[in-house]
Amino acid sequence: MDAGAVSSILSVPEQQAITHVLITHSHLDHICGLPFLHDNTRDQRQEPLQIFAPESVIAALKQDLFIPQIQPGARPEEDLNLPGLAFHQISLEAPFTVGDYQVEAVKVNHPAGGVGYFISDGSHLFVNTGDTGRTDDFWKMLRERNWDILITEVSFPNALQKVAELSCHLSPNDLAGELLKAEAGDRTVYLSHLKPAYYEELIQEIAAIPDRNLIVLKPGEVLRPKKARAAGSQASRRREMEFQFKDQVPAFDFSKDLDDQREELDRQFAVTFPAGELIFEQGELGRVMFIVREGKVAISRTILGVEKVLAVLGPGEFFGEMAMLNNRPRSATARAQTDAKLLAFGPKVFENLVKGNWGVALKLIRSLAYRLQEADIQIENLMFQDTESRVVNTLIRAAGDEGMATAKGHLVRLTPEDLSCRTGLPVFILKEVLAHLVRTHLIHIQKDAILIPNLQKLERLLKFLELRQEFTEI
């Protein structure tokens, strides 16, 4: 349905598998991929690519898009199909067959021939409004159907409400009203068409819509009806889990020791992840936070296409609270590094935790202070241009902030993986630096720890490295 990004998101074999295309309207962002789809696949097709659209849309495609000046090899005659293409004019609310599907086009509130589609395989109903402003007839028809998947749009933030109205698009406030007309309840509704310039603002306003399970679609995402969805689908499971826990109200006493209520905690809020499974992904909406009960969780962030592990969290540590509290997209990705059991809490539970249990509140404050300290170290490390200075500075700071003084020196509970997170260096480079420090007897590597025999000597080395960098620049 539509072809704005079909050639940039799908591989050529995936494009070749497309046999039919439904077009909702003729605006460029919904049709610009059609010439590329045609060009990439026409020589491999046994049958022409079948394009279905309202009469005005087909006219626009033939007169303005598939023309020799834009698409080499296109025929200028309006009344002829192009080589490898077949156009089919559709009528409103008149069911027609597309392959194995029954399709019905319904008018929506959008120019350029705008329609939405109801698509059925006999067992499931997929519905897409396409681009639309506030409308009534489409939702009336939806209320009369037993639908499985619904996609609609939201384009402009509430501050640009007038722009949304003039362009026949929806704002988050509009969306909330339209979903009332649709009687969507707490069923999952997928959202598309978020304007990139307002993406983060839209994400926050979407997250603030109460009592709705709204999912922003991502490029390349595959949707399946629940009844046909493969068991264990990670993306589906994450969404269902977040929606399950986001408004759950606790049935136990937060003022008491939570350890004494462990079974009740597990029964109400525990969720398990096998090693390697995503817990949440950077950019997703955040509705719940997590506390690690068992196992380890890696927190990473993708910057300029490179994924960096920021931290590895163990039992008692928590994550995901900032996106939940600020109604912002997740700023990082969380993945189970080992088999992990987590407690998933929504905003109401989190608020009760902080208000009713001073131990949890104190742990939260300490954790936030520790993260600020970690951020300070990472910012400080940016000042060092060589890898050895970054590692030495991180070891010195760790020894002072969290190290344990022993008869043999300062013991720091850090692994090479932990140091990699703190310095931003790949593990293999970090290990080369550590090996050099071991050879010069500045550190000793122990199990899950590093011993610094003489902290002052390590500090002198850092000073030397700073001076060397300073005079190298002269």
Residues 81, 219, single domain; the answer is yes
Residues 302, 409, single domain; the answer is no
pLDDT the model gives residue 171: 97
Distance CA 114, CA 291 (A): 47
Q: CA torsion, points 31, 33, 36, 37, in degrees to nearest 10? A: -90
Torsion sign across C-alpha atoms 271, 276, 277, 280: positive
pLDDT the model gives residue 162: 96
Residues 307, 447, single domain; the answer is no
Greater confidence (255 vs 131) lies with 131
Residue 458 lies in a domain: yes
pLDDT the model gives residue 350: 73
Residues 19, 146, single domain; the answer is yes
Which domain range does residue 446 map to?
Answer: 383-472
Residues 357, 239, single domain; the answer is yes
In tens, the pLDDT along 160-190 reads 999 999 999 999 999 999 999 999 887 889 9
Residue 253 has pLDDT above 80, yes or no: no
The predicted model gives 33-60 an average pLDDT of 92
Residues 59, 199, single domain; the answer is yes
296: domain CATH number is 2.60.120.10
Residue 431 has pLDDT above 70, yes or no: yes
Residue 352 lies in a domain: yes
Token pair 């350890």 is found at 259
Of the residues 210, 227, 244, the one at which a domain ends: 227
Q: Which two tokens stand for residue 293?
A: 């009960």
pLDDT the model gives residue 232: 40
Any residues with CB less than 8 A from the CB of 43 and at least 6 apart, and which?
Answer: none
Residue 87 has pLDDT above 80, yes or no: yes
Residue 306 has pLDDT above 80, yes or no: no
Greater confidence (473 vs 293) lies with 293
pLDDT the model gives residue 230: 43
Residue 342 lies in a domain: yes
Name the 3-class secondary structure at 153.
strand
Greater confidence (47 vs 424) lies with 47
Cβ–Cβ < 8 Å for 449, 456? no
pLDDT the model gives residue 229: 42
Number of domains forming the structure of the chain: 3
The predicted model gives 433-456 an average pLDDT of 91
Residues 401, 460, single domain; the answer is yes
Residues 254, 362, single domain; the answer is yes
Residues 185, 61, single domain; the answer is yes
Greater confidence (286 vs 375) lies with 286
In tens, the pLDDT along 198-209 reads 998 998 899 888
Residues 207, 254, single domain; the answer is no
pLDDT the model gives residue 55: 95
Residue 210 lies in a domain: yes
In tens, the pLDDT along 90-115 reads 999 899 999 889 999 999 999 999 99
pLDDT the model gives residue 247: 58
- Dihedral class, residue 112 (left if φ above 0, else alpha if ψ from -120 to 50, else beta): left
Of the residues 310, 340, 374, the one at which a domain ends: 374
3-state secondary structure 86-130: EEEEECECCCEEECCEEEEEEECCCCCCCEEEEEECCCCEEEECC
187: domain CATH number is 3.60.15.10
Residue 74 lies in a domain: yes
Any residues with CB less than 8 A from the CB of 115 and at least 6 apart, and which?
Answer: 24, 25, 54, 92, 105, 106, 107, 108, 130
pLDDT the model gives residue 138: 95
Supply the mean pLDDT for the chain: 83
Distance CA 388, CA 26 (A): 58
Residues 176, 32, single domain; the answer is yes
Residue 81 has pLDDT above 80, yes or no: no
Residue 66 has pLDDT above 70, yes or no: yes
Quick one: angle between helices 416-423 and 387-402, nearest 10? 110
Residue 276 lies in a domain: yes
Greater confidence (289 vs 376) lies with 289
In tens, the pLDDT along 319-370 reads 888 777 766 678 788 999 999 999 888 877 777 767 766 666 777 777 777 6
The predicted model gives 277-285 an average pLDDT of 83
Of the residues 227, 245, 271, the one at which a domain ends: 227
Residue 164 lies in a domain: yes
416: domain CATH number is 1.10.10.10
Distance CA 377, CA 393 (A): 8
Residue 231 has pLDDT above 50, yes or no: no
Residue 1 lies in a domain: no
Residues 367, 410, single domain; the answer is no
